[in-house]
Chain A
């Protein structure tokens, strides 16, 4: 199947149609920050203003807070009710290539050895419609991690913004299927295809920030014992955890019970390795010092995850750089390690 296209002023109609049979999520600023929100029937203009969301699409599959089960105590003791996602098909429209890669990365973790039914049920029911980047942020460095702003094999369907129209190309069978169900599309010309490619190339050139991943495993390894380095780079960190919150691959969580013993829910919440309580045990805390927690985070992303799953758990989305209140910059930290 070749490239299709749709006029941007037809998106609203398309979204209304798509949202009849499934849950459709699009970038929106309605909460005061940019995130993926359910389609509200109205705001299809995100292609005009949005570069990337503040909260990554992981939140749709691994919500910040989710009830896993309900327990109730009756005459016959406890009854457990499983609270799995409902399995309704979802379409997520406008996912950037970095975030699509991030989902593939968290897929490996949540399907490794033990299936995580909450995350995977949502993932299996989702179709990811990507949106290539024409204007990367100055914090972006995806190209250092084998990601291209203009293309993606990690989505089901990829859109490119060529001006008044969006070009669409199916990447997976799911994407092909979705494309065949969309009305209001027309065939794209070879010229338009080339334009999309040019825009992708030019976006690539606009990305100047980078990290050097060559030999990084060994460098990470040898930096481990360099306490001075880790103390130095962690000095200004406030342990607020926003870097882990907005990170598209951070997946650490806590499980706790809510309400009372008679009727309550077991809930999973995002947690963060930046918090001192994260690893606290009654008698000791292996990461009570901040520099140990910072070291854990970067070693996890750039070393341990790579050793265990053959990929670095960073996609260069730059959110942690943008959102950090004290300007901790992952590219500086990795650069510093490479320079040690």
Chain B
């Protein structure tokens, strides 16, 4: 879109639909107007407002890596009106897209560090953007450990990524499920105890975590037990958003606006939020 109207969406074409789980889908998408593509850039951790015309907008991160710009990706759990409409999307359909918004994972602070990624459920979406970003510049970082968990084998998203990371000698990959089934031969256990069992050293390490609130709560406790300080823990927060640019007034936690000041925060920043409403 020409001009500087921040609310005008780009029209994007859905190129591929991947069913991740019973209620999560991933979409590959691209600019309908190719001339816009070269002007677009984003960083891992940023989000956008996606829309189904006639249904409305919803907020999701860009889940692909900025190192892989052939197409963009976003992943959606079916939960309400707009997400239900998104789940109806077929290859070739068009959506609205405006962004990227918000801050990003501070790559320069991660350089030369061991990285521990801890993701739960669809919480792997923002992490995988960063993971692929890191793996595409593998020499810049030290050890890479990924722990991913979901409720059951059927709830594991991004299985193609898990497989790739499993095969990658430069990645310590751990997958776990809360409850297995008859075909599951892998690890069974909640993320926090599994994390403690793996026991990554906090020395020269940053942990990056995203997942459901209850998982985050106990993961933070486990990281603390392992000796991680709040400065060594990054997470990305989720709040109800509409504008994405700090004006519509709903995503604040105290004076901090998750859309504009976040969504990526260190745990130290979160602990220092003046008004911890939640």
Contact = CB atoms under 8 A, between A and B. Distances in A.
Given A116-B247, A281-B239, A281-B240, A257 B51 contact: yes
A286 B53 contact: no
Contacts of A84: 5
Interface string B44-86: 0000000111111100000000000000000001011001000
B8 interface: yes
A112 interface: yes
Interface stretch (A11-19, A97-105, A299-307, A331-339): A299-307
Interface string A74-86: 0001101010100
- What bracket does the count of chain B residues touching chain A fall in? 35 or more
Q: Which of A73, A257, A280 counts the most B-chain CB atoms under 10 A from its CB?
A: A257
A51 interface: no
Interface in B198-223: 212-213
Contacts of A254: 242, 248
A230 B77 CA distance: 35
B84 to A, nearest CB: 11
B274 interface: yes
A57 to B, nearest CB: 19
A278 B249 CA distance: 9
A229 interface: no
A61 interface: no
A194 interface: no
Contact of A282 (B80, B94, B277): B80
Given A109-B247, A281-B239, A282-B79, A255 B255 contact: no
B187 interface: no
A321 interface: no
Contacts of A73: 53, 94
Contact of A304 (B5, B6, B255): B255
Given A80-B11, A253-B247, A261 B54 contact: yes
Contacts of A49: none
Interface in B3-55: 3-9, 11, 13, 32, 51-55
A110 interface: yes
Contacts of B212: 283
Contacts of A304: 252, 254-255, 275
A256 B5 contact: no
B239 A286 contact: yes
B54 A286 contact: no
Nearest to A116: B247
Given A117-B5, A304-B255, A259 B246 contact: no
Given A255-B243, A257-B54, A307-B255, A69 B249 contact: no
A300 B248 CA distance: 13
A286 B213 CA distance: 12
B195 to A, nearest CB: 23
Q: Which of B6, B53, B96 counts the most A-chain CB atoms under 10 A from its CB?
A: B53
Q: Which of B57, B250, B274 counts the most A-chain CB atoms under 10 A from its CB?
A: B250
A110 B278 CA distance: 27
Contacts of B94: 73, 77-78
B260 interface: yes
B187 to A, nearest CB: 26
A255 B11 CA distance: 18
A261 B247 contact: no
A4 B37 CA distance: 57
A107 interface: no
- What bracket does the count of chain A residues touching chain B fall in? 35 or more
A214 interface: no
A116 B52 CA distance: 22
A280 B8 contact: no
B8 A115 contact: no
Given A78-B53, A257-B56, A281-B240, A115 B4 contact: yes
B1 interface: yes
A308 B248 CA distance: 15
B245 A114 contact: yes
A67 to B, nearest CB: 11
Interface string B252-278: 101100001000000000000011011
B166 interface: no
B238 interface: yes
Nearest to A308: B255
Nearest to B78: A282
Given A284-B213, A287-B277, A255 B57 contact: yes
Given A69-B7, A82-B1, A292 B248 contact: no
A339 B98 CA distance: 46
B278 A286 contact: yes
A264 B56 contact: no
Contact of B250 (A78, A261, A273): A273
A257 B55 contact: yes
A297 to B, nearest CB: 10
Interface of B: 1, 3-9, 11, 13, 32, 51-57, 77, 79-80, 83, 94, 96, 212-213, 238-240, 242-243, 245-250, 252, 254-255, 260, 274-275, 277-278
Given A68-B7, A253-B242, 15 more contacts: A69-B9, A73-B53, A78-B11, A80-B11, A110-B247, A113-B246, A113-B260, A115-B6, A253-B243, A266-B51, A271-B248, A278-B240, A281-B238, A281-B240, A284-B213
24 contacts: A69-B9, A71-B53, A77-B13, A77-B94, A78-B96, A80-B96, A114-B245, A114-B246, A117-B6, A117-B7, A224-B275, A252-B249, A253-B243, A253-B249, A255-B7, A255-B56, A255-B248, A261-B55, A266-B7, A278-B240, A279-B250, A283-B212, A299-B275, A308-B255
